[in-house]
Structure 1
Amino acid sequence: MRAETGAGGPDLRHHGDAEVRDAGGDLVDLAVNVRADTPPGWLRDRLAASLGSLAAYPDGRAARAAVAARHGLPVERVLLTAGSAEAFVLLARASKTRRPVVVHPQFTEPEAALRDAGHTVDRVLLRARDGFRLDPAAVPEDADLVVVGNPTNPTSVLHPAAAIAALARPGRTLVVDEAFMDAVPGEREALAGRTDVPGLVVLRSLTKTWGLAGLRVGYVLADPETVAGLARAQPLWPVSTPALVAAEACVAPRALAEAAHAAHRVAADRDRLVAGLAGFAGRGLRVVAPAEGPFLLIRLPQATAVRRRLRDLGYAVRRGDTFPGLGAQWLRLAVRDRATTDGFLHALARALPETDG
């Protein structure tokens, strides 16, 4: 691990949708980490039914209470947001941080939001040779705001909850992005619902597992004072009525059971992708392991050329050089179903150079 001041460098506003949005729907999407078979029919029906109430202003009380109950928390510890990306903006605008630190590689929007709000951001870069594992001692003691993802996008590393909790300090805000935690069977290593970690702020997204990226819905779990401060930074009625309906529906027992089943299915699909990629080790391809999220990070020679060949063959993957701490030799692959994975592996065999030279 090493620390650095993150001036300049990668394009923090490049995201996976950029790989597919100009292709006219002609590419198989392994670039965006949204579950492919979503939203399910029952959720679409709930959303459609909500359209009859659009004349009224949104009322988030029922959804907020449902999220609180899902995590065993009082409602005062819950803030509903227009996706977890809005939460990063609220944190950046409301924070009086003197030394914010973002642990990379990870989702780049937290750093981008902090910079847009006028903060100077330091980076702690996790290293490939360490498996991108977190060492709490690498974070500067005087950091008063620390942001870390778990499981981490794009590395798919799941850090132990104890290692993340060890980052907590009096006077420090510890922001943990758990946008993909519900894709981990049993949500092991989750901190959502914990009230014993000082300064803890947990962000959750409902857009990934439920295919609601276009609707924008997520939430923040934090102490009541932090929640109230973030709420003051929000505009009026920030979460739409359909998004509130989705939030309430997606934390109901039926939905939690479906998400748990989907997490096991994703794990099996990920194992199949990892096994297929192992066949290309002799051609220079390496997978970051163990992977615990619904995506994989791979390293390979000539990754830029391979990504372009894959695009010509009908597959979009996520470039890695826009993540601090990575470079042009990295690609991120979303986990998909068996048929899609098999088709991708066939295309990859054609796209890769014959040797690692």
Structure 2
Amino acid sequence: MPDPLRHHGDLEARGGLLDFAVNVYDGPRPAWLDLALHASLDDAARYPSATEAERAVAARHGRDPAEALATAGAAEAFSLVARLRPWRRPAVVHPQFTEPHAALRQAGHVVTELVLAEPFRLDPAVVPDDADLVMIGNPTNPTGVLHPRTTIRELLREDRLVVVDEAFMDAVPGEPETLAGERLPGLLVIRSLTKHWGIPGVRAGYVVAEPDVVRDLRDGQVPWSVSSAAAAAMVACSTAEALTEAERRALEIDAWRRDLEESLSTMGVRHVPSRASFVLAEVGAGGHAALRDAGIAVRRADTFPGLGPAWVRIAVRPPARSRSLLDALSALRSDALG
């Protein structure tokens, strides 16, 4: 593997395998979202503008438009943050999505890895006092741990930027631990529309932060990086109708995940209790490859700092679809017991 930090689930779900590797909602897009995406093609002859999108996402979190920046997915936001300042000691809380770490390294920074021990819950004491940038996911990918926002607030310091990746927060019913609506000095929240709305190819995400931080990020952004389609998706997914559908999906995902976790427990498969649209499970060394041989794609987890080859991440699917995965796991365990 050329670079484990740049390995992602979409690479796993190829070759006709059943996809439990990619954390995208397993269902059709709403008709109103498809209409908005199709209508955005009418603007393809003009250079895109994200102004309306930024107004929409800011209003969705009760913030001023000057506090929002539209980005080409969360990935662009990570790169913008990495190049925002000459960070003295950037720290990334692991195990978590590796792209923030990769973006910092690409920008020439030496990253301090803060690897949490199981059960992977944040202890603010592990963060060095001199860390001037701290990046953490909430809920965290791949562990599914939802950190209390009061705990994350403890990370805030003068002359420190705390970046919270909330790419999966919309999968949590009610979003009880979101910080996106809080105006706190030194806090930056990244959101993504990719997973919950099934549009990874559109690359729609955004940042909310203090106006001066947003302004500095915008200064480092490539012109027109946010397409007309992405801007249209942000507007469409910020309406009252969209928020109602987002909560319905979150409740559905929550029920699917509980069903999956109960089945894993019944089978004796150890896993981390999750609040996201995936479950981190310990299937044993060789389990990832054996599932591939059985036609099932799950996300290998040994590319996440702090995890080894016994772990895999399983995307939440409707129970009827999860049955194939569970049957394959059961067969593997029976073979192992011999």
Give TM-score scaled by structure 2 length. Answer: 0.97
Give a deviation string over 1:95-129, Cα, whole Å, max 9, x none. Answer: 2210000000000000000000000100111111x
What CA distance in whole angstroms lies between the structure 2 residues aligned with 1:137 and 1:70?
Answer: 33
* Separation (CA, whole Å) in 2 of partners of 1:348 and 1:121: 36
Cα distance between partner residues in 2 of 1:48 and 1:307? 38
Moved more, 58-67 or 212-221: 58-67
Superposed counterparts of 1:142-161, under 5 Å: 142-161=130-149
Tell me the residue number matched to 1:4. none
**Structure-2 separation of matches of 1:38 and 1:319:** 26
1:324 and 1:198 map into 2 onto residues whose CA distance is: 29
Give a deviation string over 1:288-311, Cα, whole Å, max 9, x none: 12x100000011322xx2222222
Please name the residue that 1:181 is paired with: 169
- Residue 353 of structure 1 and its aligned partner are, at CA, apart by 4.7
- Partners of 1:10 and 1:321 within 8 A in 2: no
Match of residue 344 from structure 1: 325
Instruction: Tell me what 1:256 maps to.
Output: 243
**In the TM superposition, what is the alpha-carbon distance from 1:313 to its structure 2 partner?**
2.1
Per the alignment, residue 310 of structure 1 pairs with: 291
Contact 1:301 1:356 in 2 (8 A): no
Partner Cα separation in structure 2 for residue 228 and residue 139 of structure 1: 27
Specify every segment of 5 or more residues in structure 1 that has no aligned partner in the other structure, as ranges.
1-8
Q: Could you say what secondary structure the match of 1:296 adopts?
A: strand
- Going from structure 1 to structure 2, the CA distance change for 1:165 and 1:356 (only over 3 Å counts) comes to farther
For residues 261-319 of structure 1, the C-alpha deviation after alignment (integer angstroms, 9 at most, x for no partner) is: 100010100011011111221xxx20112x100000011322xx222222222210000
- State yes or no: 1:109 paired with 2:96: no
- Structure 1 counterpart of 2:262: 275
* 1:214-265 per-position Cα deviation (integer Å, ceiling 9, x unaligned): 1100000011111011111111111010110001001111011101010001
Partners of 1:339 and 1:44 in 2: how far apart? Answer: 26
Instruction: Specify the alignment match of 1:5 in structure 2.
Output: none
1:95 aligns with 2:85: yes
Q: Which one of the candidate residues 255, 272, 281 is aligned to 1:298? A: 281
Cα distance between partner residues in 1 of 2:319 and 2:283: 23
Does 2:192 correspond to 1:219?
Answer: no
Give the distance between the partners of 2:103 and 2:186, measured in 1 at CA: 20
Q: Which runs of 5+ in 2 are unaligned?
A: none
Deviation digits for residues 124-153 of structure 1, max 9, x if unmatched? 11111xx11100011001100000000000
Task: Name the structure 1 match of 2:307.
Answer: 326
Deviation at 1:351, TM superposition (A): 2.5
Query: What does residue 215 of structure 2 align with?
Result: 228
Sort the Cα spacing of 1:239 and 1:352 in 2 relative to 1 into closer, same or farther, 3 A. same
Percent identity over paired residues: 52
Alignment partner of 1:55 is 2:45:
yes
CA–CA separation in structure 2 for the residues paired with 1:38 and 1:152: 25
Asked if structure 1 preserves the Cα contact closer than 8 Å seen for 2:287 and 2:310, the reply is no
Residue matched to 1:6:
none
* AA at the equivalent of 1:272: D
The answer on 1:242 being equivalent to 2:229 is yes
Q: Residue 66 of structure 1 corresponds to which residue in structure 2? A: 56
Instruction: Indicate if the aligned counterparts of 1:91 and 1:230 stay in contact, CA closer than 8 A.
Output: yes
Structure 1 ranges of 4+ moved more than 6 A: none
Q: CA deviation at 1:356?
A: 6.3
Letter in 1 for 2:62: G
Counterpart selection for 1:40 from 5, 30, 34 = 30
What is the letter of the counterpart of residue 69 of structure 1? A
2:120 aligned with 1:137 = no
Tell me if structure 2 keeps the 8 A contact 1:11–1:322: yes
Alignment partner, residue 3 of structure 1: none
Give me the TM-score of the superposition, normalised by structure 1: 0.92
Partner of 2:270: 286
Q: Residue 12 of structure 1 corresponds to which residue in structure 2?
A: 5
Distance 2:65 2:337 in 1: 55
Quick check: 1:121 aligned with 2:114?
no
Aligned partner of residue 231 in structure 1, secondary structure: helix
Residues in 1 aligned to 2:337 and 2:68: alpha-carbon distance in whole angstroms: 50
How many angstroms does 1:36 deviate by?
1.8
What SS does the aligned partner of 1:185 have? coil
CA distance in structure 1 between the aligned counterparts of 2:224 and 2:89, rounded to whole angstroms:
31
